[in-house]
Amino acid sequence: MLKRAWVYILRCCDGSYYTGCTTSIERRLKEHEMGVFAGYTSSRRPIELVWCSEFPDIFQAIAAERQIKGLSRMKKDALICGDFDLLRELSQSKEMKLRRAGRGEKAAKSP
């Protein structure tokens, strides 16, 4: 049986974000807070948990962690705030934004 897992985002004392995943969120947060492992957060304490989501297993959590790590700062801010409309808007391509605004490539060309 697979263990449930969490993906989390920490805000570090320098304002940067750290994204990780774990099968024990409480233990992992304590490890970050105590600087148990040398790494990104150990030199940026104190840290604050700003977002967390549970997944049925570690494999799904790892996939989500990788996606979140690839997000821009603005997209992470939208995710943390739960602003899914803004997250969706930020995720649209420039071409799609132009089409939605009624100024698509075809509309810009004169006959």
45 or 92: whose pLDDT is higher? Answer: 45
93 or 8: whose pLDDT is higher? Answer: 8
How do residues 71-82 score in pLDDT, each as one tens digit?
999 999 999 999
Is 70 exceeded by the pLDDT of residue 67? yes
Q: What is the mean pLDDT of residues 6-18?
A: 98
Is 80 exceeded by the pLDDT of residue 4? yes
pLDDT the model gives residue 100? 76
Confidence (pTM)? 0.83
* SS3 per-residue string spanning the chain: CCCCEEEEEEEECCCCEEEEEECCHHHHHHHHHHCCCCCCHHHCCCEEEEEEEEECCHHHHHHHHHHHHCCCHHHHHHHHHCCHHHHHHHHCCHHHHHHHCCCCHHHHCCC
Closest listed residue to residue 74, CA positions, set 61, 62, 91: 91
Just give the CATH number of 1-70: 3.40.1440.10
pLDDT the model gives residue 111? 45
For the chain, the structural domain boundaries read: 1-70, 73-105
